[in-house]
């Protein structure tokens, strides 16, 4: 379930470090921001690496100097120390060079910061896709916007985007502050109630990129994850067309009975397109089975975990806003069967 990155292109600006870094010992973890997979993250990662290298050098030099200073003319620890004395030295020699060099480095870094800021402020071309992401304690509502409102659709916790295209993301919150963060593609933008923030993401290559809520938002901040899946443009369109469809009509028999239970017991919170279930408090489940995880990255989306989740959400994700809905064993089975059909 870890994010699979098909791309392993390193950081253009700093090939040397990237080579060292991309050795097999450093298989890049899913949320790492040391490597980048899109133009926006590229500039940021170069900057990050640059600052990191400067920092390591500064630390090495200063540590070296301190050690050298200590061992230069060490006096014995015990017994009376040497008599105090002043060696008159030119303050300029010590501070002038050091501060001058520091100021120079800093000036360079300010410049680099401003340039990066300017470079990533706007996407390179007009975004082809507009997504509105709404933070909720503790999951993400994802709405794809279209010029024709009838072609809007909702999903949750996973968003598909066309690779190689910038995508505009508008951020809303329905409760507290969250932060939208896909390290491989972009830094954080806070999701603040009463305020509309926007950001953009772009993936160079198809792949799955892990996202995570980046601002503490309560009990399940840890499990407020999401995924950005970059598809080849054709795959993206296919996915989108599928999402736009009504949920598959359940086959007669168990699935259909499951829908009835679902509408009655779950429909107040969950919506499934084309059924009576039209709730808004929870994630839209129309095409639940096209997602790979449940409850914002808490569980893999398979039947067993689905049953585990529905029968006791509070022990799987303590505090989650989804209550335990008492269902008989049969009802549970029916609902699972129905949900499993939602492709």
Partner 1 sequence: MANTMTIPAVQETPELRARLDRIWETPKGFAGWLSSVDHKSIGIRYIVTAFALLVIGGIEALIMRLQLARPNQQILTPAQYNELFTMHGISMIFWYASPILSGFSNYLWPLILGSRDMAFPRLNALSYWIYLFSGVFLYAAFAIGIAPNAGWFDYVPYANQQYNPGQGIDVYAMALILLGISTTVGAINFVVTLMRTRAAGMSINRMPILVWGTLTASAGNILAVPAVSLAFFLLWLDRRFGTHFYDVPAGGQPLLWQHLFWMFGHPWVYAIVLPAMGMVSDGLPTFCRRPLVGYTLVALATVLTMVIGFGVWVHHMFATGLPDIGMSFFSAASFVIVIPSAVAVFAWTATIALGRPQLTTAFLFFASTIVLFVIGGVSGFMTASVPADWQFTDTYFIVAHIHYVLIGINVFPVLGALYYWFPKMSGRMLSERLGQWNFWLMFIGFNLAFLPMHLTGLWGMPRRVYTYGADFGWNTLNMITTIGSFVLALGVLLLIVNVVMSLFRGAAAGPNPWDAATLECATPSPPPPYNFAVLPTVASRHPLWEDRLQESDERSRITVGPALDNGREALATSPIDAQPDAILKMPEDSYAPLVLGLALSALFVSMLAMSLPGVLCSFAVGLIAMLIWLWPAGLSFRPLRTTDG
Binding-site size for partner 1 (CB under 8 A) equals: 92
* Choice from 40, 143, 172, 221 touching ligand CUA (CB under 6 A): 221
Q: How far is the CB of 237 from partner 1 (least distance, A)?
A: 31
Contact code string over 279-298 relative to ligand HEC, x by CB under 6 A = --xxx-x--x--x--xxx--
Burial 165-176 (b: 16+ CB within 10 A, else e): bbbbbebbbeeb
Shortest-Cβ-distance residue relative to ligand HEA:
105
Residue 6 in contact with residue 206, Cβ under 8 Å?
Answer: yes
Binders of partner 1 in range 47-86 (CB under 8 A): 47-48, 51-52, 54-55, 58-59, 62-63, 65-66, 68-70, 72-78, 80-86
| Contact partners, residue 183, CB within 8 Å, separation at least 6 | 31, 32, 33, 41, 210, 212
Of 95 and 216, the one with the shorter C-beta distance to ligand CUA is: 216
Asked if 319 is part of the footprint of partner 1 (rule: CB under 8 A), the reply reads: yes
Site stretch for ligand CUA (CB under 6 A), options 52-60, 201-209, 216-224, 273-281: 216-224
Angle at 314 between CA 310 and CA 318, to 5 degrees: 140
Q: Which of 291, 296, 306 is nearest to 339 (CA)?
A: 306
Four-residue CA torsion sign, 251, 253, 254, 257: positive
Binders of ligand CUA in range 130-149 (CB under 6 A): 135, 138
Asked if 120 is part of the footprint of ligand HEC (rule: CB under 6 A), the reply reads: no
Asked if 62 is part of the footprint of ligand HEA (rule: CB under 6 A), the reply reads: yes
Q: Which two tokens stand for residue 175?
A: 């409760």
Asked if 215 is part of the footprint of ligand CUA (rule: CB under 6 A), the reply reads: yes
* Residue 246 buriedness (CB in 10 A; 0-12 / 13-18 / 19+): exposed
Binders of ligand CUA in range 10-39 (CB under 6 A): none
Q: Which two tokens stand for residue 25?
A: 């010992």
Site stretch for partner 1 (CB under 8 A), options 39-47, 142-150, 238-246, 305-313: 39-47
* Choice from 9, 13, 145, 177 touching partner 1 (CB under 8 A): 177
From residue 125, how far is each of 61, 122, 168, 186, 292 by CA, in Å?
43, 8, 11, 16, 30
Residue 257 in contact with residue 336, Cβ under 8 Å?
Answer: no
Asked if 178 is part of the footprint of ligand HEC (rule: CB under 6 A), the reply reads: no
Binders of ligand HEA in range 276-335 (CB under 6 A): none
Region of 205 please: left (phi>0), alpha (psi -120 to 50) or beta: beta
- Judged by the rule CB under 6 A, the positions of this chain that interact with ligand HEC are 138-139, 156-157, 220, 265-266, 268-270, 281-283, 285, 288, 291, 294-296, 306, 309-310, 317, 320-323, 325, 327, 335
- Judged by the rule CB under 6 A, the positions of this chain that interact with ligand HEA are 58, 62, 102, 105-106
């Amino acid at each position: 379930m870890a994010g699979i990155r098909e791309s392993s292109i390193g950081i253009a600006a700093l090939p040397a470090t990237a080579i060292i870094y991309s050795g097999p010992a450093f298989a890049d973890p899913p949320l790492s921001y040391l490597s980048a997979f899109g133009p926006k993250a590229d500039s940021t990662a170069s900057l990050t690496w640059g600052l990191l290298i400067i920092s390591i050098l500064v630390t090495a030099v200063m540590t070296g100097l301190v050690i050298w200073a200590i061992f230069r003319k060490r006096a014995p620890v015990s017994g009376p120390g040497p008599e105090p004395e002043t060696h008159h030295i030119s303050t300029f020699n010590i501070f002038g060079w050091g501060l001058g060099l520091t100021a120079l480095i800093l000036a360079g870094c300010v410049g680099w910061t401003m340039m990066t800021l300017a470079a990533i402020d706007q996407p390179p071309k007009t975004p082809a896709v507009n997504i509105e992401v709404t933070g909720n304690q503790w999951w993400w509502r994802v709405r794809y916007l279209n010029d024709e409102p009838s072609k809007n659709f909702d999903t949750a916790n996973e968003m598909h985007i066309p690779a190689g295209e910038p995508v505009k993301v508008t951020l809303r919150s329905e409760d507290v502050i969250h932060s939208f963060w896909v390290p491989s593609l972009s830094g954080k933008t806070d999701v603040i109630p009463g305020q509309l923030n926007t950001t953009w993401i772009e993936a160079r290559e198809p792949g799955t990129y892990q996202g995570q809520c980046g601002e503490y938002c309560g009990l399940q901040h840890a499990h407020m994850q999401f995924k950005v899946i970059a598809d080849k443009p054709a795959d993206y369109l296919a996915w989108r067309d599928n999402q736009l469809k009504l949920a598959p009509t359940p086959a007669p028999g168990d699935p259909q009975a499951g829908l009835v239970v679902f509408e009655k017991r779950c429909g107040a919170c969950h919506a499934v397109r084309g059924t009576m279930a039209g709730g808004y408090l929870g994630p839209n489940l129309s095409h639940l089975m096209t997602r790979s995880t449940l409850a914002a990255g808490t569980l893999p989306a398979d039947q067993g975990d689905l049953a585990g989740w529905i029968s006791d959400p509070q022990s799987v994700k303590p505090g989650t806003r989804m209550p335990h809905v008492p269902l008989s064993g049969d009802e549970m089975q029916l609902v699972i069967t129905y949900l499993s059909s939602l492709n």
